[in-house]
Structure formats: structure tokens, C-alpha cells
Structure 1
Amino acid sequence: MISISSVSLPPETEELVLSVLRSGMLAQGPRVAELEEAFARLCGVPHAVAVNNGTTALVASLQALGLGPGDEVITTPFSFVATLNAILEAGATVRFADIRDDFTVDPDAVRALVTDRTRAVVPVHLYGLPADMAALEALGLPIVEDAAQAVGARFGERAAGSFGLGCFSLYGTKNITSGEGGMVTTTDDALADRLRLLRNQGMRRRYEYELPGHNYRMTDLQAAVALPQMARLEEINARRASNAGKLTAGLSGVPGLVVPAEVPGRTHVWHQYTVRVTAEARLDRDTLAVRLAQAGIGTGVYYPRLMHDYPCYQGHPLIPDTGDTPMARDAAKEALSLPVHPGVSDSDVDRIVETVTGLLAQ
């Protein structure tokens, strides 16, 4: 089986984790600080604040901005549900803007939703491709980048995570993983200070509380898992890009299949390689996924519904208007991710191309 994701850790990971265990310092400590420094360098920002997961990174960023009841946040409806849950947890009202055909939020659709209550925009760098950050930045709104899938991605000369508050996930399937973990990056000294307080129960010094906070801390064990991968990030992302390029070369022109575009000026890090299986295809998306599984090729549907389509969000007071987002709705029906991770060999790529082509071109 060619899996849709695979976790492969550098050999030095074991020794680094053991060194943490032997040190007796298992909670947030020097390894977390080392990982924060590496992320800050990667993103070209002065501050990186480690937290316990990517959802927490989003929640803490919205809290750091002071968002709450009555405030509106604009985001995409086509994302992992953590994006929505974080806004709801902050107590803000959600407004959904449609996406472009590259799966990222449409800045024109965002602009049309701005009111005097709009306090932030949360673009999602979906599948590893940065949103149009120049156009979004021009709106003049605070930006919380959902860069969970985009570690190492770039928009022009700037890194994902440098346009406001950048929120990264280090979950087990991400390009860099600590099992669970998250990071917030920023150029704003005051926001970084507030984030550090929020993650540590509001304490600057022991038992001196400056604001109501939380326990959002990362452990040194988690950081020790992620650190060796940071040194190899360029290699990891280059292998993903190489696999993506070969998939695109082999799958371009297959009837009813739209391969993902590489947008000029944006560096895609290929967390997922996501095609669109359109109505013109010989098989629909779900049937193709089943046939590929039968042939030993894993796939992923990210994501089968728009976030607000699940019953638990129906009638939610903070989601008063889901709006008309036809591009996002089409994407939920058509998107299918194929294996692209570094564990996919050249022969695996050939097999994926041959099998997909054979199923759709018969």
C-alpha cells in the first residue's frame, strides 16, 4: 500500500528524546526554546511561541488580539474544522468568504464581507500553498495565518507566518512533526509577550498573574522530536516538491482531472497533492478513491464537507450567515489528495500515475 501519509524521523531523534528523559526536565524547557529559535529564523521574525497544538495556536492568537463577542472574523469555509472551532472558542462571529480555484481564500470575497465589526481575517494556506497575502494585507485588517500545513512556504520573499500571527501545527502528519504541537510566529513584541502569558496561566513570574490564562505549554519531549527535522526541512520539502512535479507531469491532460497549480510568486510545500475530479471524469471522486484503494494506493478527501455543513454547527449563534460559496462547495465535492510525502519513491509515483490514468482514461 502506498499510504497517503508516512512518519519518518531522523535517527538522532531517539538520542535527543533520551537526553530529555535523562535530564529530568520534561516540561517546557531548553529544547522548546531551541525549537522556537529555529522557527523564528525560518519565518524571518523575532518571535516564535511554542504551544501544545495547532488549534491552540489559532485560539491563543485570536485571544491575544482581544477578540470576543460582537467581533467578526472572516475565513474560508473549506478547511479543517479547527479553523472554525478556534474562532468560535474566541467568542467571535464567523463570516465565510469563497475560495479561488487554488483552494485558498479569495481576497475579493473577503473584501465584500468587511464591516465595521470585522476584527481579523484568517486565511488558510491549504495543502501547503500560501494564500494571496499581498491582497489580504492590503485590506488593512489584523491577519491570523492558519499555516498549519505550510511550514517553509513562502509568498514572494516572505515566509508564511510573517504576515501577522502565523499559526503552525506539528501534528503527526505534518511536514514537521512533534506528534502534537504548535507554534505562533509574529513580528509584534506586545503580541508575543501576551501569547507567552496566555500559554502559562497568565504568569510572568511564579504566582504573579497578569491576565487570565491557560496551560498551552509544549513539552521538551515534543520539541526534541521536532528539532532534528527542522534541520532537514529544506530536504523534506524539496522531496515533496519533486514528487508533486512528477505527479503533475504524468497526470496533466487526464480527462476530468485537474492537477494543482503552482502559482507564480508562491512557494508550495506540498503538504498534500490535491487534484480535482470533475463531472467530466469517467469516475466520480469517491469511486476513484475506492478503486485506488483496491489497487493499493491510499488517498485522502480533505475535506468532504464545508466546515459549517455538519449538524453540530447548524443554527450556531456565532455562525449566523454561511453565505454563498460555490467555489468552496465544488471543491468539497471534487478534491482528492494523492500520496506525495518523502516516503513516496519514484516507482511509487509511476504506479500512481499509471493507475489513475488507467482508471480515468479507459
Structure 2
Amino acid sequence: MKPTLGEEEAQAVAEAVRSGWVAQGPRVAEFEKAFAASVGADHGVATSNCTTALHLCLYVLGVGPGDEVIVPSFSFIATANAVRYCGATPVFADVSAETGNLTPETVAAVRTDATKAVLVVHQGGVPADIPALKASLGGLPLVEDAACAAGSTLNGAPTGRGALMAAWSFHPRKLLTTGEGGMITTDDEELAARMRRLREHGMSVSAADRHAAAGKAIVESYGETAFNYRMTDIQAAMGLVQLRKLPGIVARRREIAARYRELLAPMGLRTVRDPEGATSNFQSFWVELPDAAPPVGDVLAALAEAGVSARRGIMAAHTEPAYAGHPHAPLPVTEHLTTRTLILPVHHELTEAEQDTVVAALAAAIGLQTAVH
């Protein structure tokens, strides 16, 4: 993966620097409104990254010590870490073999009286079945980790539309990047207002609003212990340009994914694909290795030797040292996917010749024939 950046982003960042307003200010507010509108949400709350966004979402729900939050193990470790930041316990649920996402059945298998919320991930940009999950939870709060999902759709609407809260990432591995950075979208005005205060030390009046009040002396107050989770105007300037490019980036990703599937189909390899009623942005393109193939580590080493930079499949947080001994239900699908999948190169400038090289190298690494010439 490499970000899709150009002269427009460079100029926007330079203009922010020349303006003298480089911390959280008017460009952040503009980016919040634009991004929220792009996913059909009423409010956007920009943050320093998606991990801090997830933390704020759980924090405003009152998640704390003694509470459990159901999460997939099949996700970057930040998903589980955000629960721990609140002093609560992440409870790992298994995922669908088809999508890599939580399902009503996998959530029900680990739900207890201590469950405070469910944190669902749209893994790799593949939308989870949010209507089914909501219908199964009986009012239990559902927070969406949409870190990878900008530009994906569910039932004809942008992923994240109608969410209680959805958290987004703008890390360089995502389709839309601000370097680092995150966002929370919600339709709840009170939640949005509180999270804006919490990201800025709990100040009753933001620094931007104080500076904008020319000729007036405004003294802020601090109603609760809070955090410094702010985005900068430099980042937001880049984000505004990236947001305009997002539809084209998604379209290009989907072209690349379709061609990968076409090339890999004769080899009998299962790959990530659109769920029914949804479209993925293909933030990641994973392929499942056959049982007879060598271990993923050996395949990755062979690909690297052939000049192909691939990556292991999505991690399983419960197998990492940070969560050693952490209680969880049996997670057979998670453990299979994390040990038998790998992620192939996908980025805006990937050429057909490069795709052919990737597929040929993969075929050679696992001992299969390829139709690529």
C-alpha cells in the first residue's frame, strides 16, 4: 500500500502553514462537516487518530472497570486496546469466514450480563451486517470501527450512516489519509458536543472559538478530566483534498480487486469479495491459501525474494503477547483466517504488469499453475 498523494495535497498543506493556523482550527471544522456529510451523518468530530476516536466513543458510553465490550479478535490490536483504555475487558468473539466480521451468532456466543457494548469492525473495508447486528442486540450500544471503510457502502448507503457512533482512520494505509488522524461520526448532537470537549482537555470553549471572538475576553472552564486528542489544520487541509478524490480512489481499488479475482480464479484460491447488499472499498485484498500450501511466513518470504511486498493476513489480537491468557471463546474461524490468509499489494498506481508479477510469484510460492503470461 502507498497513499494517493499529489501536488494538490502539498499546496493545501502549504496554505495551512502560511495561514499561521496550524493547530486545530477552521480547516478541522470544515473537514468535520465535509466528512460527516459524505457518510450521511449529522456530526463529525475529528481526532488525532482512530484509536483515540474509539476510546472517546466508549468513554462517552460510560464504559469502565467491571464492564465487558465484545470485539473481534480478528482486527488490528487497537480495537481491543481502546476497551482497555477505559479499564474494561475486551471479550473476543469469532467472525464470519466469508467477511471476517462479527455476526449476531458470534456476538451472542460471548454476551453476558456484564456486556456494556459491542464494537464491530468493518474489516479491511468489507461492511459488516449492521442491520442484523442491531436487530439482535436489543438496544445494547453498537459502536462501529470503520477505520478501513471510507468509501464502502451497505444497502446502497455509505458505511457508517445511521451509526450511533462510527470511528474512522486516516492513517497512510487507508484510502483517505491525513498522515495520522481520525474521525467520529454520529447523529447525536449531545454526544458530538461532549466528544469535542473531551478531545480538547474538556474546555467549555474551544481554542478556535476563543481566538475567533475578536475583542471579547472569553475565559474557558474545565468541567471534567479529559484528553488531548486533537487533529491539526495541516492534517485537515490534506484531508479535504483527499475527500474529493475518494470516489476515484475507490473505483480504482475495485478495478484492481476485480482483476485479482479474475487472475486468481483459475488457481482455485478464495479471496475477499463484496458481501450481499454491500460494496467494499478493498482497503485490503486478502487471499486464503490452500491447506497444501506452505505456511504464510514461507510464502511471504518467497514473495519478497521475487520482489513482491505482501503482508500476513489480519492479526488475531488474542494470540498476541499483550493479551496472553486473556479469556475468550473458541475462535476457530479467526485462527484459521489469521494463519492461512495474506494480503496482496493494492494501491492506486498498481499496473496490470505488476499485478501479473504478484500473481505469478504467488503461484510459484504455493506450487500452483497460473494463467498469467
Fold shared, TM-score > 0.5 on shorter chain: yes
- Residues 1:186 and 2:197 aligned together: no
Among 327, 331, 339, the residue aligned to 1:325: 331
Shift of 1:19: 1.1
SS of residue paired to 1:356: helix
C-alpha distance in 2, partners of 1:155/1:312?
Answer: 33
Q: Is the 8 A contact 1:172 1:179 kept in 2?
A: yes
C-alpha distance in 1, partners of 2:77/2:313?
Answer: 11
Among 318, 324, 327, the residue aligned to 1:314: 324
- Residues 1:357 and 2:363 aligned together: yes
Q: Is the 8 A contact 1:197 1:211 kept in 2?
A: no
Task: Specify the alignment match of 1:149 in structure 2.
Answer: 148
C-alpha distance in 1, partners of 2:58/2:290?
Answer: 36
Among 266, 273, 276, the residue aligned to 1:264: 276
Alignment map for 1:1-362 (pairs within 5 Å): 5-101=1-97, 102-138=99-135, 139=137, 140-162=139-161, 163-205=163-205, 206-255=219-268, 257-281=269-293, 283-304=294-315, 306-315=316-325, 319=326, 321-359=327-365, 360-362=367-369
* TM-score, normalised via structure 2 length: 0.90
Shift of 1:10: 2.8
5+ residue gaps, structure 2:
206-218
Shift of 1:354: 2.7
Q: Is the 8 A contact 2:146 2:168 kept in 1?
A: yes
Q: Is the 8 A contact 2:95 2:334 kept in 1?
A: yes
Deviates more, 1:347-356 or 1:76-85: 347-356
* TM-score, normalised via structure 1 length: 0.93
C-alpha distance in 2, partners of 1:314/1:127?
Answer: 25
C-alpha distance in 2, partners of 1:29/1:302?
Answer: 38
Q: Is the 8 A contact 1:247 1:349 kept in 2?
A: yes
C-alpha distance in 2, partners of 1:335/1:193?
Answer: 41
Deviates more, 1:351-360 or 1:88-97: 351-360
Q: Is the 8 A contact 1:153 1:159 kept in 2?
A: yes
Shift of 1:151: 0.8
C-alpha distance in 2, partners of 1:32/1:210?
Answer: 23
Q: Is the 8 A contact 1:160 1:166 kept in 2?
A: no
SS of residue paired to 1:91: coil
Q: Is the 8 A contact 2:171 2:181 kept in 1?
A: yes
C-alpha distance in 1, partners of 2:14/2:220?
Answer: 31
Deviates more, 1:111-120 or 1:180-189: 111-120
C-alpha distance in 1, partners of 2:180/2:351?
Answer: 27
Q: Is the 8 A contact 1:65 1:191 kept in 2?
A: no
Percent identity of paired positions between Structure 1 and Structure 2:
40
Off by >4 Å, runs of 4+ in structure 1:
none
Shift of 1:332: 1.2
Shift of 1:17: 1.0
Spell out, residue by residue over 1:59-117, the C-alpha distance to the aligned partner (whole angstroms, 9 max, x if none).
01101111111211101011100001100001112111101112111221102222222
